[in-house]
Amino acid sequence: MRRALYLAIGILCGALLLAPVLAPYEETAQHRDAALQPPTHLFLFGSDEYGRDLFSRFLYGGRSALLAGLSAALAAVLMGFAAGALAGFYGGWLDAALMRISEMFLALPWMYLLLAIRALLPLRVGEAGSLAITVSVAALSGWPGPARLVRGIFLAAKQRPYISVARYLGATNAYIITRHILPEVRPLLWTQAATLLPQFMLVNVTLSFLGLGEGEPHATWGGMLASLRHFSVLEAHIGYWVTAASIGLVLFLLQLAVDGRVKLSVRKITIQ
Amino acid sequence: MLVRILQRIAQSAALLFAIATIWFLALSLAPGDFFDEARLNPAASPATIERLRVTYGLTQPLPIRYGHWLWSLAHGDLGESIAYREPVAALLPPRCANTLLLTATSLVVSWSLALSLGIWAGAKQGGLADWAVRALAAILLAIPELIAATLLVYWAAHSGAFPVGGKGDSVSGLASHMALPVLVLTASAFPMLFRHVRLAVSETLAAPYIRSALSYGISPARLWLRYVLPAAANPLLSLFGLSLAALLSGSLLVEVVFGWPGLGPLFLDALFARDTYLLLAPVILSSCFLLAGNIAADVLLLWNDPRVAKDSP
């Protein structure tokens, strides 16, 4: 069951990444004489009001959302690793300060971070700007989780005899961290990155949904979802619906696959 | 204990100040201002626009604007919206009331569902019902709020079963306008709450003191009310505080999708228009809620479990 789910997701993500090869049409190619077509063999998901193939745009939009999600998850995990390693390895005031800051960011809703960072940039941003926003929101809101787990592993690892031996033999801190403790942390980092991926793809989709991310004529999942709010859908245009449902299905499967990979934990009391 | 809570409040006040300052600076340093769009209008002469900018104090240097803003804020003045030409303090209350109506309803619904189903599933672990509710929670958790809301709006507009946009006039109108947004908010909050309740109950039931209480033959009512629920409540109280914290900020996206006249659409419009003071007020207000909710979580925990006060230095 789970294996089938992973396989399906692997194929889906592969298809999205290969959008330029697989898409039957260019991202922005218009066929004005075939606007608002229902799904047919020519237009798998139908076409939009400019006669653009919704299936091709679904693939291209998914590609940019997936790439943004992947780089965002990577950024958050790297930052979490750095903070957790510093806090766990060096301890003391650095540890206390980093943990206090991480609590602050844990309590902050990501939507606010998204809008605050968005407010810093001009009203229209391109693909690079949209990617930068997603990655910075992700790094800022996603690092505390991994950081706390990494810190825990570092605290435990520091106590082990082979670390003392390594230090006695003259190993530097950097050597101990990368050669002796990193292998222990690595599987955790991968799971964390996987669980963060669907969330951050959703951040990217939300950004373009609100009209704050990358805009037309580029294909974005958020933009395609937003077109469901347009009055033209009242004319029962099935294509938009199919596209939105497919976007929902991909995000649903991704979230379902990573669900249950991390244990539940309620925030501990922080009164000082 | 009182000292700790007071310290916590002082910390939160400092944090609130930091958040407000960061937002003010971000908005002031960002390129463009409210009158950028007016410049494209041939009917407005550059001289008029410049005069308006002077009127609204946009030409003053940043430190002076910041000082003015802090000074007014300290006196309870949130500033004036440029777009609405009204004090922000007059614009916010109805919007806040609408948002709270939505979020408070979904808070009550999702917590009652999570508590009843969670306790039930935790008590009957491994059964068919437990499995069914857990599967439901996993599925609901995986459906993104944005997608659910968008598809529901599409369906409602198409079938005409529910009105879309606005909040209705009569009581029944209000209920039908609220139904779908509350459904989406509840569906997105329920799975996490349910899992925590179920976990807390099942962990408590497995504790040795429950077994010994059972072997004494005490009544089920006493077992649940005196032994299981108070012990299981600990993690849930923190969680409840976090739910309170999200009352003003948690429904932003859903409000925007459903066109609910709450803080969400106001906030987004202000962001697009660069209406600085109208933008800052909801930020400050919902940050207050956020911090207050966090403090409430800790206070509730201290009240329920005296051990906590001893444990944390």
What integer best gives the mean pLDDT of chain B?
85
> Which of A253, A266, A267, A268 best tests the B interface by mutation, with the highest count of B CBs <10 A?
A266
Residue B127's pLDDT band (cuts 50, 70, 90): confident
- Distance of alpha carbon B211 from alpha carbon A23, whole angstroms: 62
- Distance of alpha carbon B312 from alpha carbon A178, whole angstroms: 33
In a domain, B246, yes or no: yes
B-contacting residues of A 218-257, CB under 8 Å? 225-226, 228-229, 233-234, 236, 240-241, 244-245, 247-248, 251-253, 255-256
Query: Which CATH number characterizes residue B277's domain?
Result: 1.10.3720.10
Contacts of B255 in chain A (CB under 8 A): none
In a domain, B59, yes or no: no
Structural domain of B199: 89-311
Question: Cβ–Cβ contacts within 10 Å for residue A253, how many?
Answer: 16
How large is the average pLDDT for residues B209-225? Answer: 88
Distance of CA B271 to the CA centre of its chain: 19
- Distance of alpha carbon A9 from alpha carbon A251, whole angstroms: 10
Q: What is the DSSP letter of A91?
A: -
pTM (2 decimals)?
A: 0.85
Which of A116-125, A208-217, B18-27, B240-249 is predicted with the least confidence, judged by mean pLDDT? A116-125
Q: Say what percent of chain B tops pLDDT 90.
A: 16
ipTM above 0.90, yes or no: no
What integer best gives the mean pLDDT of chain A?
83
Residue A30's pLDDT band (cuts 50, 70, 90): confident
Determine, for residues B144 and A202 on separate chains, whether the beta-carbon distance falls below 8 Å. Answer: yes
In a domain, B73, yes or no: no
What pLDDT is stored for residue A138 in this prediction?
Answer: 84
Q: What residue type is assigned to position B40 of the chain?
A: L
In a domain, B192, yes or no: yes
- Distance of alpha carbon A165 from alpha carbon A174, whole angstroms: 15
In angstroms, the separation between the Cα of residue A272 and the nearest Cα of chain B is 6
- Two tokens, residue A239: 């294509």
In a domain, B221, yes or no: yes
What pLDDT is stored for residue A232 in this prediction?
Answer: 64
What pLDDT is stored for residue B83 in this prediction?
Answer: 81
**Structural domains of chain A ordered from first start:** 2-271 (1.10.3720.10)
In a domain, B36, yes or no: no
Report the number of distinct structural domains present in chain B: 1
Q: Do residues B301 and B44 lie in contact, with contact meaning Cβ atoms separated by under 8 Å?
A: no
In a domain, B230, yes or no: yes
In a domain, B281, yes or no: yes
Q: Do residues B147 and A225 lie in contact, with contact meaning Cβ atoms separated by under 8 Å?
A: yes
In angstroms, the separation between the Cα of residue B154 and the nearest Cα of chain A is 6
